[in-house]
């Protein structure tokens, strides 16, 4: 299946694309010098990971994802929760790398498990092979006398190594046999060439290189859904497009929350039979994502100013500044998280939380969590 870019009706697309571009640029410029930028980015990872599963029809609670990331699960993690955590880790991974990393061979392999194109095979040199064979024959006679002694020493070294591991308490992990992909036939279609589909999507990216950036991103989002690049992992497409917005400089200081924007646009629009309507929906996704980001940024600024009033007159050794940074970087925090991050007792954590007037988010008597108002 070939995705045709075709001729786009700019009279319908240019206006919404310009508005989305303006809002994304305004958000990125505000984050560039913002005192809550790092906290905003961390919180956006959690919100977008939950939204990614919501778009696929799965429900993951935000508090469960926060506790799972902190390795403080209150219940056995579900499959949906572990998938949301994968999205969270991938977003963090993209931001820690260079801007062009997601589209290089290594980045694509790590994000999608596919390269998108076969690597060129290295040509063998028959003369070099002949020289290596001759050198091996010449050295065989010289090494034949030392082979027996070397083998005995190697066996002794292996025994000593195993003994050292046992004495130190380390377990010798048995090598796992290579698993046959046939066992996954129920989950994956063996006749589906995901590498070729990914290469086709990258070809669409090359053909739209001259488009306005937001319009190009909308086409790539639509192409990812239309081509159905991956059988499992539809959330990877919006991550790659968000990485493209970052690479091109429109979102240079953050990774756009496209899943969060898609959560606010009806699925009927994103899956419409009218291609132009789908492109307008994807442009609206970027507009909604930027709008949410601006509101969240303003809310964090106000919360930071309110909590900083509590810091006035405190000792220099007070743990409250560290608590403020922790609260701004997580959608919610628990007593155990505060204890772990700030190295305080449980009662000390409760006293710090009470001093900052945080809001209790769960409404429970136990396993409570707090966040900003």
| Residue 291 predicted with pLDDT over 80 | yes
Asked if residue 59 belongs to a domain, the reply is: yes
Domain that holds residue 321: 313-371
Spatial separation of the C-alpha atoms in residues 356 and 373, rounded to whole Å: 11
Asked if residue 301 belongs to a domain, the reply is: no
Average pLDDT of the chain, as a whole number: 83
Q: Do 291 and 322 belong to one domain? A: no
| Predicted local distance difference test score (pLDDT) of residue 313 | 75
Strand partners, 360: 370
The CATH number that applies at residue 362 is: 1.10.10
Domains identified in the chain, total number = 2
pLDDT more than 90, % of the chain: 50
Spatial separation of the C-alpha atoms in residues 214 and 197, rounded to whole Å: 23
Q: Which of 68, 36, 38 is nearest to 50 (CA)?
A: 68
Map residue 36 onto helix, strand or coil. coil
Spatial separation of the C-alpha atoms in residues 49 and 59, rounded to whole Å: 11
Asked if residue 354 belongs to a domain, the reply is: yes
204 CB contacts (<8 Å, ≥6 apart)? 3, 5, 219, 220, 223, 227
Q: Do 326 and 268 belong to one domain? A: no
Q: Do 99 and 19 belong to one domain? A: yes
Q: Do 252 and 347 belong to one domain? A: no
Asked if residue 51 belongs to a domain, the reply is: yes
Please give the helix or strand (H or E) that residue 52 lies within, else none: helix 37-55
User: Residues 123-179: pLDDT tens digits?
Assistant: 444 444 444 444 545 454 555 555 666 676 777 777 777 776 666 654 444 444 444
Q: What is the DSSP letter of 232?
A: S
Q: Do 197 and 88 belong to one domain? A: yes
| Sign of the dihedral defined by the CA atoms of residues 118, 119, 122, 123, in that order | positive
Confidence of residue 102 (pLDDT cuts 50, 70, 90): very high
Q: Do 276 and 196 belong to one domain? A: yes
Q: Do 203 and 90 belong to one domain? A: yes
List strands edge to edge, sheet with 333-334: 333-334, 369-371, 359-360
| Predicted local distance difference test score (pLDDT) of residue 118 | 43
Q: Do 209 and 80 belong to one domain? A: yes
Q: Which of 127, 135, 108 is nearest to 119 (CA)?
A: 108
Asked if residue 17 belongs to a domain, the reply is: yes
Q: Do 250 and 353 belong to one domain? A: no
Q: Which of 33, 79, 76, 75 is nearest to 56 (CA)?
A: 79
Spatial separation of the C-alpha atoms in residues 335 and 345, rounded to whole Å: 9
Name residue, tokens 């992992």: 233
Q: Do 280 and 342 belong to one domain? A: no
User: Residues 337-370: pLDDT tens digits?
Assistant: 999 889 899 898 888 888 887 888 877 666 788 8
- In whole angstroms, how far apart are CA 254 and each of 85, 234, 245? 19, 21, 9
Asked if residue 176 belongs to a domain, the reply is: no
pLDDT more than 70, % of the chain: 81
Spatial separation of the C-alpha atoms in residues 222 and 40, rounded to whole Å: 28
Asked if residue 323 belongs to a domain, the reply is: yes
User: Residues 169-214: pLDDT tens digits?
Assistant: 544 444 444 444 444 444 445 567 888 899 999 999 999 999 999 9
Q: Do 264 and 366 belong to one domain? A: no
pTM (predicted TM-score): 0.77
Q: Do 286 and 324 belong to one domain? A: no
Asked which of 296, 323, 344 is the last residue of a domain, the reply is 296
């Amino acid at each position: 299946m070939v995705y045709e870019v075709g001729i786009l009706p700019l009279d319908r697309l240019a206006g919404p694309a310009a508005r989305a571009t303006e809002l994304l640029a305004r958000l990125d410029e505000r984050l560039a010098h913002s005192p809550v930028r790092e906290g905003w980015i961390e919180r956006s990872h959690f919100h977008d990971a939950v939204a990614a599963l919501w778009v696929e029809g799965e429900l993951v609670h935000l508090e469960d994802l926060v506790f799972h990331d902190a390795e403080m699960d209150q219940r056995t993690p579900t499959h949906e929760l572990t998938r949301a955590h994968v999205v969270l880790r991938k977003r963090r991974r993209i931001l820690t790398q260079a801007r062009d990393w997601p589209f290089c061979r290594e980045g694509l392999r790590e994000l999608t498990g596919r390269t998108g194109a076969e690597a060129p095979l290295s040509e063998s040199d028959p003369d070099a092979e002949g020289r290596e064979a001759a050198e091996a024959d010449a050295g065989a006679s010289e090494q034949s006398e030392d082979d027996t002694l070397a083998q005995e020493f190697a066996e002794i070294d292996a025994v000593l190594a195993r003994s050292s591991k046992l004495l130190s308490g380390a377990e010798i992990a048995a090598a796992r046999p290579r698993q046959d992909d046939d066992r996954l036939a129920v989950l994956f279609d063996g006749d589906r060439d995901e590498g070729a589909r990914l290469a086709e999507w990258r070809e669409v990216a090359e053909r739209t290189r001259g488009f306005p950036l937001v319009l190009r991103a909308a086409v790539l989002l639509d192409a990812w859904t239309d081509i159905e690049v991956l059988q499992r992992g539809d959330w990877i497409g919006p991550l790659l497009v968000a990485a493209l917005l970052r690479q091109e400089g429109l979102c240079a200081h953050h990774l756009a929350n496209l899943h969060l924007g898609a959560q606010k646009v009806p699925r009927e629009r994103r899956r419409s039979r009218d291609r132009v309507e789908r492109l307008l929906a994807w442009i609206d996704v970027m507009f909604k994502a930027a709008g949410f980001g601006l509101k969240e940024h303003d809310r964090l600024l106000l919360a930071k100013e309110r909590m900083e009033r509590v810091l006035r007159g405190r000792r220099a050794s007070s743990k409250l500044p560290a608590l403020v940074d922790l609260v701004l970087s997580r959608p919610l925090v628990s007593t155990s998280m505060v204890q772990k991050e700030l190295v305080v007792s449980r009662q000390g954590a409760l006293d710090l939380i009470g001093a900052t007037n945080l809001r209790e988010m769960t409404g429970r008597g136990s396993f409570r969590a707090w966040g900003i108002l």
